[in-house]
Amino acid sequence: MPRLSLYKPEKGNDYKFIDRQASEMFQAGGTDVYLHKYIGVNTPLENATADQPHYANTAVTNIQDLLFLENRDGTYDTQVYRIRGLYNVQNIDFNLSQFGLFIDNDTLYMTVHINDFIKYIGRKPISGDVVELPHLRDDFALNDFDFSLPRYYVIEDVGRASEGFSVTWFPHLYRLKLKRVTDNQKFASLFNEQAKDANGDPVPNTTLRDLLSTYNQELSINDQIVAQAEADAPASGYETRQFYTLAVDPNTGKPLLQTADETDVLASNVSSKLTSAAVNAVPQRSGYTGYLLGDGFPVNGYEFGFGIQFPANPQADDFFLRTDFLPNRLFKFDGKANAWIAMEDSVRMNMTNNDTRSTLKTGFINNTNWTYNDQIASDVVSLHVNSYVINTKIPYTTAPYVVFKSDITILGYSLAEFPNLFSSYTYVSPAGITSNCLRVTLPVMTSSQVADGGMASQPYNPTPDTIEDGGNAGTAMQGQILDDSSGQQVIPFTGTWTVILYNTRESERQSISKALRPKADF
């Protein structure tokens, strides 16, 4: 007769009997636990680096960042698993921190049945698995939804529970250390899922983030604060448009008046601001001095034109804002000198960090321009404003990119983005020779092809060939000019344009560590 021993090397019937009892105990006395199974992390191939590798398979054993030893972008099984667990319910206290209210003692220690967990989940629980406790749904939160708020935890540590060892010395229970989840990058895939109500039915047009996270409300509050900050200081420098500048004689200091009754007014030098009534002359410059006062607007609110080319027949004291200067520059036409005189630069800038802010520093960050290379062919053509079908004398061919240049104005288009960019036409030379040449038809740009000025939660999809229409953007002028009504791209002004076909292009904005790295073998 062998010596009595409850311990056996193998998991025998005693173990199985006790394990079933333990399982039944969880079934009878435990609470449902919904488990969102962590299935791993994987860096997309195009973003992979040596220390942030792309794996052949997405697996729980993958490590996303080998330098920092962290997994940031977890993915979760869309299937939700139901298991049973036991834990001691505890009272909570809210801790008011600089980031809002937190639950002070938010760590739970839950036990689950090992074999049941393996049976249902298919593996051992690991740090990063997310559990949901349906019995803790909050039916009465102060939200606008008709749905209760679920309670989510993330497993931090997993170990065998000391109380789960039976007389056979084999463990039957896991002890899970649970912490409250936050709406962060690691759980983004989970929070991007559609929210479900207590019955498991989807909540229309609502993600779990919408339902459960403070993110949207925090953004809304942030937006309001920024709006107030913009109301307090809409732009750098000082607003002086509401102030009046008196035109004075530079020699006598006396006010300068001009009337149509003056006998010494030359017809060729008549101010456009002249009326039959006595009016003050147009000041030479603003009467207010200080830091960053130039806003591109004429003194005293005089009307002005703007564009990238001076108008053809100006009158004395006409104002014109050249939007192709960076910063935009305001000119006044001097009738005596018959020349446009620079008045001021529009140096006042919105101080909010946005995608179009273009100071010296932010101009290096908010930069969507391209640098085109590998010229294929070129031609010089005379084009009229608003034309969009351009016939060149380039023998018909296609290229990935076409660029129109005139002075500092550059319009660039990508064949990949606009497949109908190129076509051919028959050109008859003055000598009567016909040839098949390239015709470029400027594209119609949809609103989705306009660069998005917004920020929040938008896929990062820069379209460097586009600039915002209107406003005071358009300074770099490397991009497309939108026709206001149809989105039809047009030539912005009449003149001589160079049409160049390019084979490659690269972003003007590049990281300092990556710019001009070797592109070929040595």
Partner 1 sequence: MQFFYDGQIRRYITQVVRVFSNFVVKYGDGTLHRIPVMYGDPDRQVASIIRQNSENKVNSVPRIAVYITSLALARDRVSDQSFVGKVHIRERGIDPTTGIYNHDQGKNYTIERLMPTPFDLTFKVDIWSSSTEQKLQILEQILVLFNPSLELQTTDNYIDWTSLSVLDLTDINWSSRQVPVGTDTPNEVATLTLKTPIWINPPVKVKHLGVITKIITGINGNTATSGTYIEGLGIDPIAETTSMSDFIDVVVTTIKNYKIEVYASTVILLEAGATTDPREPTIDPAPAKVGGSIDWVNVFDVYPGKYIAGSSRIYLTQPDGSQIVGFIAVDPVDSSILRVNWNPDTLVSNTGIDSQGHLDNNPSYNASSSYRPNSTGTIDAIINPQTYNPLDPTNQGTVTTPSVGTRFLLVEDIGSSLNGTDGAEAWEGTTSGELIAKANDIIEWTGSQWNVIFSASQYPDTMVWQTNIYTGVQYLWNGVSWNKSFDGIYKIGQWRIEL
User: Measured on CA atoms in the order 183, 188, 189, 191, is the torsion positive or negative?
Assistant: positive
For residue 440, give Cα distances in angstroms to 291, 381, 409, 425, 468: 47, 12, 18, 10, 23
**Which of 207, 214, 366, 398 is close enough to bind partner 1 by CB under 8 A?**
214
- Of 77-85, 162-170, 243-251, 367-375, the segment contacting partner 1 by CB under 8 A is 243-251
Look up residue 442 and give its two tokens.
Answer: 């400027």
**Which of 34, 55, 81, 238 is close enough to bind partner 1 by CB under 8 A?**
238
Residues 22, 117 contacting (CB under 8 angstroms): no
| Residues constituting the chain | 522
Q: Binding of partner 1 at residue 143 (CB under 8 A)?
A: yes
Q: Binding of partner 1 at residue 92 (CB under 8 A)?
A: yes
Task: Tell me which amino acid residue 136 is.
Answer: L
DSSP 254-292: PBPEE-TT-TT--GGG-BTT--SS-EEPPPSS-S---SS
Could you say which residues in the range 444-463 bind partner 1, by CB under 8 A?
455-460
- Of 114-122, 217-225, 410-418, 500-508, the segment contacting partner 1 by CB under 8 A is 217-225
Could you say which residues in the range 22-61 bind partner 1, by CB under 8 A?
41, 43-44, 47
Q: Binding of partner 1 at residue 235 (CB under 8 A)?
A: yes
Least spacing, CB of residue 224 vs partner 1, in Å: 10
Residues 130, 101 contacting (CB under 8 angstroms): no
Q: Binding of partner 1 at residue 101 (CB under 8 A)?
A: yes
Residues 355, 419: Cα–Cα separation, whole Å: 28
**Which of 21, 162, 354, 436 is close enough to bind partner 1 by CB under 8 A?**
354
Least spacing, CB of residue 233 vs partner 1, in Å: 5
**Which of 25, 55, 60, 72 is close enough to bind partner 1 by CB under 8 A?**
72
The site string for partner 1 over 308-347 (x = CB under 8 A, - otherwise) reads: ----------------------------------------
- Of 53-61, 235-243, 397-405, 496-504, the segment contacting partner 1 by CB under 8 A is 235-243
Could you say which residues in the range 262-301 bind partner 1, by CB under 8 A?
273, 277-278, 280, 287-288, 290-291, 293, 300-301
Residues 346, 341: Cα–Cα separation, whole Å: 15
Could you say which residues in the range 370-429 bind partner 1, by CB under 8 A?
none
Task: Tell me which amino acid residue 455 is.
Answer: M
Please tell me the count of residues contacting partner 1 according to CB under 8 A: 98
**Residue nearer to partner 1 on the CB measure, 238 or 306:** 238
Least spacing, CB of residue 109 vs partner 1, in Å: 12
Residues 257, 247: Cα–Cα separation, whole Å: 8
**Which of 81, 109, 215, 304 is close enough to bind partner 1 by CB under 8 A?**
215
**Which of 244, 385, 496, 498 is close enough to bind partner 1 by CB under 8 A?**
244
Look up residue 95 and give its two tokens.
Answer: 């801790």
Residues 245, 287 contacting (CB under 8 angstroms): yes
Burial class for 468, CB neighbours closer than 10 Å (0-12, 13-18, 19+)? middle
Could you say which residues in the range 178-197 bind partner 1, by CB under 8 A?
179-186, 188
Residues 333, 315 contacting (CB under 8 angstroms): yes
User: Measured on CA atoms in the order 17, 23, 24, 25, is the torsion positive or negative?
Assistant: positive
**Residue nearer to partner 1 on the CB measure, 301 or 471:** 301
Residues 54, 73 contacting (CB under 8 angstroms): no
**Which of 6, 59, 167, 219 is close enough to bind partner 1 by CB under 8 A?**
219
CB-based burial, 219-246: b 16+ in 10 Å, e otherwise: eeeeeeeeeeeeeeeebebeebeeeebe
For residue 463, give Cα distances in angstroms to 359, 360, 413, 453: 21, 22, 11, 11
Q: Binding of partner 1 at residue 169 (CB under 8 A)?
A: no
Q: Going edge to edge, which strands form the sheet with 422-428? A: 389-395, 434-441, 422-428
100: left (phi over 0), alpha (psi -120 to 50) or beta: left
**Residue nearer to partner 1 on the CB measure, 47 or 426:** 47
**Which of 33, 39, 86, 212 is close enough to bind partner 1 by CB under 8 A?**
212
**Residue nearer to partner 1 on the CB measure, 287 or 487:** 287
**Residue nearer to partner 1 on the CB measure, 4 or 142:** 142
Least spacing, CB of residue 172 vs partner 1, in Å: 24
Least spacing, CB of residue 181 vs partner 1, in Å: 6
**Which of 23, 240, 323, 391 is close enough to bind partner 1 by CB under 8 A?**
240
Q: Binding of partner 1 at residue 522 (CB under 8 A)?
A: no
**Which of 3, 5, 56, 99 is close enough to bind partner 1 by CB under 8 A?**
99
